[in-house]
Structure 1
Amino acid sequence: MSWDISTLYRSHAGGTARALRRAGLNPDVADDLTQDAFLRVLARPVPQTNGAYNPRAYLYRIAHRLGINHRRREALVQMVALGEDDLASQAPTTDQALHARQCLDQAALALAELPDRTRRAFVMHRIEERSMAEIGQILGISTSRAWGLIREAYRHLAERVDER
């Protein structure tokens, strides 16, 4: 059965975004995830079944899962509030530049210490900005295992890199 995506969007985009905001996401993130949900529906319409299907429920389920994944990713990243002094554009001192260079060298060494598959997963995630599903598919592992490899890499880097 074919989808009328424009009617689905006009009818349910606002409700999908509201549902994501009610789930605790800020409005900008909710809007982004709503767009992502519609892209997923375009990319993978509902599987063909003999029974009745509900496009709205399918859309909301995708959006809900995107919201869960977003919160999981946010939990992995440590957020730091910046003051106005932090935002000022100042050239680093010689000591700061040297320390930054040492941290980069430590990070390079720490990455080299990782097992090949863990390092590849980390690079695909951070540098190539691939999704967990893509990483899992490329490496021949599950999405949850891809998350596990990336967490291992982050933990290893946090232990090895001196950020004082």
Structure 2
Amino acid sequence: MTWNVQELFRRHACEIARALRRRGLSEDVAADLTQDTFLRVLANPPADTVQNHNPRAYLFEVSRNLSINHYRRQVKDPTIDVDGDTMLRIADPSPSVETAVYSRQMLKQVAEALDELPQNTREAFILHRIDGMTVAEVGRKLGLSSTRAWELVHRAYKHLLMRVD
């Protein structure tokens, strides 16, 4: 027998969530466990050899077992609700040590690669990428045509892509 989980969900999801809330679970947890119930049934439907299929009873049994597991986890490792302000004070916005080291290594590679470029190419790239000038503005500043300024910037990009990991 094949179960139409979509149809079962339409028919029984609200009922299961309501039963979980009556067991003392919050609305959010009940909704999560209801979803988990159907995911569990979708992933592992009952064997075809089982007689007298009662999908509704089976779904309620699965949801009940999931709620028991939830309560057991809460006893072992209780969670607490934290408001947004408290969470911002707890979370550390600074990058990890690994991220900082990696960023320094990347900056060193970029600086070395830029030092390898001819003066005009390096200056065009810095004006465009670091100072935020358009290619036309870079050309005017360096006394070059826009096409030549773009060639210099493009050459710098290609060089950096080849040299930096």
Q: TM-score, normalised by structure 1?
A: 0.49
Which structure is larger by alpha-carbon Rg, 1 or 2?
Answer: 2
Normalising by structure 2, we get a TM-score of 0.49
